[in-house]
Structure formats: C-alpha cells, structure tokens
Amino acid sequence: MKIKRFQARNMREAMNRVRQELSGDAVILESRRLADGVEVVAAVDYDETPAQQTLRAVQAAEPPPPAAPRPAYTPPPPAASAWSTGPRAGDGELAALRREIAEVKSLMQSQLAGLSWSREKMQQPQRAGLFRALLGLGLDPALARELSAEAGAEADAEQAKRSVLQGLARKLPVLPREPLIDTTGGQQVLALVGPTGVGKTTTIAKLAARYAERHGTRDIALVSTDHYRIGAQEQLFHYGRLLGVPVQTARDAGELEALLGRLGDRRLILIDTAGMGPRDRLLSNQLSLLRPLAGKLSSYLVMPGGASAGDCDHIVAQFRATPLAGCILTKIDEATRIGAALSAAIRHQLALAWISDGQRVPEDLCAVRADDLVRRACELARLLPQARDEELLADDYAAAQHGRQTQHGGASHVAV
C-alpha cells in the first residue's frame, strides 16, 4: 500500500496529480480545504475501504436521482441542494464535514464528467464533434447537447452539420412580422427598455428613420421618460431634429398616459426609457412607469448581442417585470460570440425582433431572420476561433446532461 498527501489549488488539479503520481485506481482517504487550495490524501493498493465509506456517506447524504427522465431542454431548477442552507453558528464540525462532502462530490462529478465525455467521443464521434462546434458558437451546453443529439445520427457529416444549424434556426423565436412594417393594426406604441448604454436611444432613431422611409415622418412621435440624467433627453431631441419628428417627455405613468392620449393621431410612438443597471434602485421607477400601460404599448428589451449567458439571464430577469413583446440585440458588430444571447432568447422564449450591428443611423439595423442570425453566429466562430479546453468541454457536457451550471462561467447559464 502507498499513501501520499497532495496539495493543490483546487480539487481538479489535486486529482490530476493523484492520477499521474499514484494511478487511476487510487482512493481518496481524506480531503480538506486549505487557505489557498485543497489537500488530498490518496492511496493505492489500500485493503480497507475508507474511501468506499466516504462514498457511501456521500451517497447517503445525496437525495436519490429523480425517477422520471429530464425533459429535453428545460431551464435548470434554482440552485438548491442539501448543502445550500448555511451552517448555524457554532456548527463548525458539521460545516467542515459538509464542505468535505461537497469537495468529494465535486471531485466525483468532475471524474464522471471526464468519463462520460470520453465515452461520447469514442462511441458517438460525430455527435461529440457537433456538440463541440455548437459550444464554439457560444451556445448554452444544454441547447448544444439537445441539437447535437437530434442531428448526430445523420450518416453524412456535412448534412448533420447543416441539420443541426437548421434545427437551431427553427428554435429561435422570431417575431412573425416586423411591427413597423405591418401597419395594419393601427397605432403602434413601442417602448425600449434595457441596461445602460446598450443602444436604446440610437435604436429608437433607427426605428423612426426606418418607418419614415416607408411612411414619411408625419405620423411619428418620440417620447423620452429619461429625466434622470442631464443630456439624456438632449440626445433624443437631437435625433428628433435630424429626422423632423417631434419629441415629448413624460416623468411618470400619469404623464405618459395623458401624453399617449394627446398623441392618439400618431401611428407610431417610440418611447425611450432611461438606461438602468440591474441593481439601480431607479430601475423599478422606470418599469413601474410602463407597467400600468402594458395594454397600450409593447415593450422591447434591448440587450447586447455579445452578452454572456449569465448576463443575459440577469438582464431578462430584471426587465421582465414589465411584459416584454420581444427583444432587440445590439452591438452585434462588437460581439465575439452571439450564441449566449440566442440561447437566452430560446430559453426565455423572447421573440427576436431587430438586430443592430453598428452606430450608423438608420443603416445598421435590420429585422431578424433566424437563418441570418445563425449564419452570423457561425461566421463569428470562424473568424475568431477560441481553443476549448477538453476538461471544460467535459464539464459542459456533464452540465448539459444533468442540467446544472458549469463552474468556469463559459457557456453555462444561471437559473432565474
């Protein structure tokens, strides 16, 4: 029997060293957290079974896996586990034990992830290749796994790739008709909401110009509800002057309602709201200004097309306090990946309406076409290839399998 103690920055690194220096058959006798990492005691040719006891303890403490299979693609449940309630004061030993079990659990998950990804690569190389390629677009692992499973059985590799991309395009929720063009429904009141600096005001100007190209400027009015920052309204007034369109302001829901009443003869009213960070206390003021008028206007969420999965989820969670008719992806020209935003649109069933890919008014705005978005996503991945670590791929693969969040913050997503 050989016993050895390993210190490393994290459990994965420790386990790699255990595997290298002892062997894959080594058992973990003990693990503990250090101030700057972890310590693991491992053994090979160990005749007693303390490792098995530890594993049994983990299994006993773990809730049994759900009997029913997971649906194909559902948002993961909010992060809750046996360990999520914090330890009570003075519960030091129990807390230490929980941490240790969590470490072992994470270690086992990491090993299982590696195994299951290796098996997939050996048994289903085409499907594994598609999964890898879809993650390369920045897609959510669960979505990438679902799409690759659907198309991975195609005999021809090129055909499989085409069908996987077609599958992605089919899943994208896209507004069936562009609101500005379809003027059959009478007056349209659109409000743009979203975080600071995402391009709301610029997009309002683009939308107004886009409408004016077809129907003239006579029927358009612009409204600003941004009375918080000096200069914010001036930007909209500037665009109003350039386009020859009147600009009005409203400070609260009452003023906005009265204004909409006075503008009843305008066929298109575009409302520019103040950009608020998700943690800004004024955010709820802006949303509560729109909420009472939800039946009279359509709110569109403006989101950066290159946002990460976590950011997209965060933005949607904050702004869905007002009913959202759809979503506008901006700054596509600056994005290195748009897969996370596309995944979020699918996950939250947020209809994609327009994309903005530059600062020019009105040129850099177009209505969303699903196949065009998928083509853009592929182009970005081709132009800016990113090497993907096999361990992270294994993690993503396992995360997709179990609907959990990956730890490396790559293409993972957060339940909201």
Interacting residue ranges for ligand GTP, rule: CB under 6 A: 196-202, 232, 275, 330-331, 333-334, 356-359, 364
Number of H helices, E strands in the chain: 14, 11
Number of amino acids touching Mg ion (CB under 5 A): 2
| Closest distance to ligand GTP from the beta carbon of 258 (Å) | 23
**CB of 31 closer than 8 Å to CB of 103:** yes
Residue closer to ligand GTP, measured from CB, 29 or 190: 190
> Residue 138 or residue 304: which is nearer to ligand GTP going by CB?
304
Kindly tell me which of 197 and 323 has the beta carbon lying closer to ligand GTP.
Answer: 197
Residue nearest ligand GTP (C-beta atom):
275
Shortest separation between residue 361's beta carbon and Mg ion, angstroms: 13
Q: What is the DSSP letter of 361?
A: T
Compute the least distance from the CB of residue 333 to ligand GTP, in Å. 5
| Token reading at 357 | 């890919």
CB atoms near residue 156 (< 10 Å): 10
Q: Which stretch binds Mg ion (CB under 5 A): 24-32, 83-91, 196-204, 310-318?
A: 196-204
Cα separation, 58 vs 105, whole angstroms = 7
Q: Note whether 308 binds Mg ion by CB under 5 A.
A: no
Widest distance between CA atoms in the chain: 88
Closest contact distance (angstroms) between CB of 301 and ligand GTP is 11
Tell me the residue number closest to Mg ion, measured at CB. 201
Return the CA Rg of the chain: 26
Please name the amino acid found at residue 134. Answer: L
Least Å distance, CB 191 to Mg ion, is 12
Q: Residue 221 or residue 276: which is nearer to ligand GTP going by CB?
A: 276
Q: Which of 117, 76, 47 is nearest to 392 (CA)?
A: 117
201 binds Mg ion (CB under 5 A): yes
Q: CA angle 399-416-357, nearest 5°?
A: 90
Q: How far is the CB of 383 from ligand GTP (least distance, A)?
A: 16
**Nearest in space to 289 (alpha carbons), one of 228, 240, 341:** 228
Nearest to 132 by CA among 112, 153, 161: 161
Closer residue to Mg ion, CB minimum distance, 201 or 322:
201
Residues making contact with Mg ion (CB under 5 A): 200-201
